[in-house]
Amino acid sequence: MSENPFESTLPIARASSPSVKFSQKSIDETVSELQTNAITGLSNNQDILNRRSLHGINELSNDEEESIILKFLSKFYEDPLILLLIGSAVISFWMGNVDDAVSITLAITIVVTVGFVQEYRSEKSLEALNKLVPAEAKLTRNGSTSTVLASTLVPGDLVHFTQGDRIPADIRLTEAVHLTIDESNLTGENRPVKKTTDSLTSEFKEVPRVTTRTSIAFMGTLVRDGHGTGLVVATGAKTEFGAVFEMMSEIEKPKTPLQQAMDKLGKDLSVFSFAVIGVICLIGILQGRSWLDMFQISVSLAVAAIPEGLPIIVTVTLALGVLRMARHKAIVRRLPSVETLGSVNVICSDKTGTLTQNHMTITKIWATDFKGSFNSPFLVVEKLDDNTLHHQLTKNMHKILETGNICNNARYSSENEKYVGNPSDIAIVECLPHFGLEDIRGTKQRVYELPFSSNRKFMAICAHSGDLSKSETFVKGAAERVLDICNRYLDENSEPKPLTDEKRKEILQKTHVLADDGLRVLGFARNNKKFISEKEDELPDELIFCGLVGMKDPPRPNVGKSIALLMKGGVHVIMITGDSPTTAINIAKQIGMPIIGEKSVMTGDQIENLSEERLAEAIHNVSVFARTTPEHKVTIVKALQRRGDIVAMTGDGVNDAPALKLADIGIAMGKNGTDVAKEAADMVLTDDDFSTILNAIEEGKGIFFNIQNFITFQLSTSIAALTLIALATFFGLPNPLNAMQILWINILMDGPPAQSLGVEPVDHEVMNKPPRKRNDKILTEQVIKRVLQSAAMIIIGTLYVFIREMTDNEITARDTTMTFTCFVMFDMFNALACRHYSKSIFEIGLTNQMFNFAVVGSLIGQFCAIYVPFFQSIFQTEALYFSDIVHLFFLTSTVFIGDEIRKYLFRSKNAAMNPFNLNV
C-alpha cells in the first residue's frame, strides 16, 4: 500500500479542493479571487465574520460524543459486581423482601453515580489538558501583525510562518525564503519539500499530487527551514489534512507508569479480597446464616473492599495537578511527566529568555571613528539622552544601525503597539528613534535573504533602492563569524581598508570586553555586491566590517532565588548558551550559579573533543556550557543520563527537538518556542520563565506525596472493613454492618474525602527533600506501617463498640447504628490524619477547602442516615443520643491522635539524625 493516503483514497474526489485549484493560479489571481490584499491582509471586520460563518471555525472536530445518559446507563451493566448487586435486589424482591430490594437499588444508583461522576470529571480534566496548548498563527489584518488562535483564520487571511512553525491552514504562498516544509504526516515522505511561489503551469491530466503542489503550504505540516508568507485558501475540513483526518483512527493513550502501578495494586488487592470474601461467605453459610444475606454482604463487601476507584482518583489527581501547574504558567503535555518531575536532579536551561528577560536593549556601540565617552571606547547608549545621541552618531555608527535595520525581520503590531519578532531585531529597530533615524525597510526591495541558523550564526540580506544593478548585501550576526567573511573594515574616516590580523585582534578584543559586561555582542558588515545563493553552503564574502553592538538582556527578577532553592533540594542547574564564555559567566554569577575555576565552564569545542564517557566524567562540576549548538544539547543529555541523572532540558528551536525528546523532561518555551519544540517537549512554559520550572517540580513532588496520602486512607479503610466482617464471621458474631452500610462506606472511601486528599495544597518544604528516585515504590515500608496502624485502630475501636452494644447476642438497630457511625467517624478522623505524612494538622491548618467541604458533607450524609426516617428504613438505623455522638467522637479521634504521635516520633527521629536539616 502506498504511503501517500491520497493515491488510494482520494483519486478524483479532491479534484476541486482549494489547494488543487489555487496551486494552479498565480499570486495575483489568488488575491483577486479571495478578494484580499497580499500586503495588508483582510481589513473589513464584517467581511471576516461573513467568511467565518460561511467556512466555519478552522478546526478538525472529532465525531459526536456518546450521549452522557447512555454513558451513565452503561455503568450499570459494565461492572460485574454491580450486576451481582442488581441480581441480589431482584432476588430480594422476588422473595418478598421489598425493603431490601429498594434499599439495594438506591445504593446501586448512588455507587454508580459517584463512580460515573469521578470518571466524567477525569475525562473532562484530560480534555482540558488537550486545550492548554492551542494552535496559533502569525496573522496580518489591516496591515497589523499579531499572534492569534489558528481556529480564528478564514480564507483570504495573510499568514506568516518561520522555521519550527506548524502551518495553521492550507495556504497559497506569496513569499518563500529558503522555505522547506516537512509533509511526512500528510504524504508519508520524510524528505522536506522545497517550496516556491510559482504556480503549476503544466497541464495536468490528473489531479496534481500533494507533493507536486510546491506553491501550497498544507495545514498540519512543519516548517523545517526558512520562512514564508501566504494567503489562507482552505480551513478546517476543507484542507487536505481534513480530508484524511477521518481516516486517522485515534490511538488510545497508554497509561502512565503510576496508573499501571495502581492497576496492578488494585488487581492484587482484588484477588486477595475475593479470596477473603469467598471464605467469609462460605463460613457464614456453614454457620447456618441466610444465604441471601451472606450473598448481599459478600457482594457489598467486594464493592467496598476492592479499590476500583484507585486508578480513576490517580488520573483525576494528576490531571487536576496539571491544571494547577497551568495556572502557574507551566503546561504539562503528558501525564507521565508529572511523575518524572519529582525525580529531576539536573536542569539544563537556556540563558536567553529563560534565565534572562528576553527583552534586549542596545547599551553599547563600537566603531573605529568613535573617540570614546565616559572613559570608555564605546558609545554608552543607556547613559545618554536622545539629543546627545543625535550628536554622537558617527558615519560608521550610522552604517551599523542602517545594516541592522535592513537585516531585520521584526514587524510592528498595531494591536499590541510594539514590535514582534526576534529580540535582537526588535532591540535594533527600537533603538533607531533615539538616534533620530527612521525604519527604512519600506524604501528597500529585498532581492534575497539568507536566514539566520544556529550553524551559520548570522543572517544576510541583499536589497536595493529601486535599481537592481545597485544591490547591496547586509550581514548581521555573531561578531567572530561575521569577521570570518570580511576582508575589509571601515576606518576612522569611514573608508574601507584591508582587514589586517592586527585589526582583527583589536575587534575581537573589543568583543571580549563587551562580553565581559554580560552583553550579547553582534557584528555588522556590508558591501556593494549582489549576493544570491544558489547552494545552501554558499556564503557572502569580501564584506566590509562596520562595527559592534552590545545588547543587554538582564536576568529575570526571581531566577536567583529559584536556583538557590533548587540547589538546596539537590538539583544541579546548568546554563547552556550560544553566547561567549565571558558573557555566560557574567550572567551566571549574577544569578548565583556556582562558578569555581575553569572546571565550571565548558565550551562547544571542548564537548566535541571529548567522548561521551569522558564528558560524563567531566560534567560533574560544570555549571555553564558556552558557545554551544543545539546538537551539543543532545550530547550533554546523553552524558548526564549515562551517569544515571534524571534530566530536564529547555529549548525553543527546531534543532532543540532531539534533545527535548531525549531528555527525561523536555521543556519548551511558550512565547518564543517553535511548534516543533513544543510538540517534542513534555512541558511548555507559557511565560518562558525559569522560575516556573521550580513551581512545576514542586507541584510534581507534591502530587506524588498526595497520591501516597489518599492511598493510605483508601487502603486503611478497605482493610478495616474487610477485617471487621471477617473477624465477626470467624467468631460467630452477627455481621456488624449490613450491605447498605458497607456500600455507604464505599462511597466515602472512593468519593469526595479520598479525592480531596489528592488536591491537598503543596507543602513548599518538599523542595528541601532530595529528588525521588525513578524506581521508588509508592507503597514504601513507612506507608504500609502507617496503613496497618490506622486500620488496626479502626478495627479495634469499631469491634469494641459493636461488642459493647450487643449485650444479648442479638443484633438490634441501635447496635448496627452505633457500629456504623463509629466506623464512619473513624474514617473521617483517618482522612484528617492522612492529609500529611509528617506534619501535624495543627501546623498545616484547614487550608484544603475541598477536604473541608467533603468531610462536612460526609458527616451531614451520615447524620441523615441515622436521623431522617426515610434513610433510617434504608440503612436500618435509629436515632442516637447526643451523648452517644460525643462518646463516639472521643473514641474515633484516637486514630487521629495515634497518627499525630507517629508524626511527632518521626520528626524527632529525623531531627536527631539530621540536626542541620529538620525537613529531610
**DSSP code of 435?**
G
Three-state secondary-structure class, residue 671: coil
Count the alpha carbons within 13 Å of 821 in the hemisphere toward its beta carbon. Answer: 32
- Tell me the C-alpha distance between 813 and 865, whole Å: 12
Q: Is 385 a catalytic residue?
A: no
| Grid cell at residue 856 | 462536612
Q: Which residues pair with 380 in a beta bridge?
A: 364
Closest CA to 319 of 253, 391, 239, 403: 253
* Amino acid at the residue 20: V
Residues whose CB is less than 8 angstroms from the CB of residue 64 and which lie 6 or more positions away in sequence, other chains included: none
Closest CA to 834 of 907, 900, 909: 900
Task: Yes or no: say if 683 and 666 are a contact pair by the CB < 8 Å rule.
Answer: yes
- Helices 98-130 and 291-305: crossing angle, nearest 10°? 20
Task: Yes or no: say if 525 and 546 are a contact pair by the CB < 8 Å rule.
Answer: yes
- Tell me the C-alpha distance between 389 and 432, whole Å: 10
Phi, psi of 527 (to 5 degrees): -155, 175
Question: Given the C-alpha cell 564584506, which residue does it identify?
Answer: 543
Q: How far is CA 502 from the centre of its chain?
A: 51
**DSSP code of 499?**
-
- Tell me the C-alpha distance between 11 and 378, whole Å: 66
Burial readout 569-594 (b: 16 or more C-beta within 10 A, e: otherwise): bebbbbbbbbbbbbbbbbbbeebbbe
Beta strands in 115-155 (DSSP E): 136-141, 144-149
- Tell me the C-alpha distance between 78 and 919, whole Å: 46
Q: Residues 100, 170, 350, 664: which is the catalytic one?
A: 350
Task: Yes or no: say if 474 and 447 are a contact pair by the CB < 8 Å rule.
Answer: no
Task: Yes or no: say if 158 and 139 are a contact pair by the CB < 8 Å rule.
Answer: yes
Q: Which residues pair with 450 in a beta bridge?
A: 460
Residues whose CB is less than 8 angstroms from the CB of residue 14 and which lie 6 or more positions away in sequence, other chains included: 6, 20, 207, 240, 243
Task: Yes or no: say if 223 and 181 are a contact pair by the CB < 8 Å rule.
Answer: yes
Beta strands in 49-103 (DSSP E): none
Q: How far is CA 266 from CA 40, 715, 725, 773, in A?
A: 61, 10, 20, 23
Give me the DSSP letters along 640-652.
HHHTT--EEEEE-
Q: How far is CA 581 from CA 351, 519, 521, 575, in A?
A: 12, 11, 12, 11
Length of the chain, in residues: 920
Task: Yes or no: say if 330 and 343 are a contact pair by the CB < 8 Å rule.
Answer: no
- Please, where are the H alpha helices in 351-452? 386-392, 395-406, 423-431
* Sequence-distant contacts of 113-119: CB under 8 A, at least 24 apart: 113/72, 114/747, 114/750, 114/751, 115/75, 115/308, 115/309, 115/312, 115/750, 116/71, 116/72, 116/75, 118/309, 118/312, 118/313, 118/316, 118/750, 118/751, 118/755, 119/312
Closest CA to 669 of 353, 418, 357, 355: 353
Which uninterrupted H or E stretch holds 680?
helix 675-680
- Tell me the C-alpha distance between 296 and 101, whole Å: 11
Which are the catalytic amino acids? 350
